[in-house]
Amino acid sequence: MPLIEVKTLIKADVQTCFDLSRNIDFHTQSLKHSNEKAIAGKMSGLIELGEWVTWEARHFGIKQQLTSKITEFESPNYFTDEMVSGAFKSFKHEHIFQQKEGNTVMIDKFYFQSPFGLFGKLANVLFLKRYMTNLLNTRNTFLKEKAEELSEIQ
């Protein structure tokens, strides 16, 4: 199963980063370019353990839906969301937050399996892993900017 790991250093407290990362409204703002929006389940605010959300977005020119559920949760250090249904064969996204010298290190571990056997593995190598890494980096840059902005206000 391919793994994408992204680390982001944020000049803000861990609770702010944790809450932004699980905020449905913020997630929608951070991925505006794909027209991502919540259409079922938890559709606004902070998602909690056991809750689920169905997202609709346009990726690769195709409108898609994906439902994920929060399966692990330890505030403000860790949560995991896992795909219930969607375009992947499976995915698990671990969100890890570590406080270091007044900053937060945010670590995303995104494990995924593509459908379609050998063709899916080929898609991983050719474009999917790069596409998902770019998507995580886009979201994390947006989160970093917002968390640091909020930290300056406080």
Q: Predicted confidence band at 33 (pLDDT cuts at 50, 70, 90)? A: confident
Q: For the domain that residue 72 is a member of, what is the CATH number?
A: 3.30.530.20
pLDDT of residue 24: 97
Q: 104: which strand partners?
A: 10, 99
How far, in Å, CA of 119 to CA of 133, rounded?
A: 20
pLDDT digits (tens, 9 = 90+) for 77-103: 999 999 999 989 899 999 999 999 989
pLDDT digits (tens, 9 = 90+) for 14-29: 999 999 999 999 999 9
Predicted TM-score of the model (pTM): 0.92
| CA dist 96 → 28, 34, 35, 148 (Å) | 20, 25, 26, 18
Residue with tokens 């997202």: 55
Structural domain including 92 reads: 3-153
Q: What is the DSSP letter of 49?
A: T
Domain count, the chain: 1
Mean predicted confidence (pLDDT) in 39-60: 95
The continuous run of DSSP H or E covering 136 comes out as: helix 129-153
Q: What are the start-end ranges of the H helices in 6-128?
A: 14-21, 24-30, 117-123
Mean residue pLDDT of the chain comes to 92
Mean predicted confidence (pLDDT) in 103-125: 84
Q: Please determine, for residue 154, whether its predicted confidence score (pLDDT) is greater than 70.
A: no
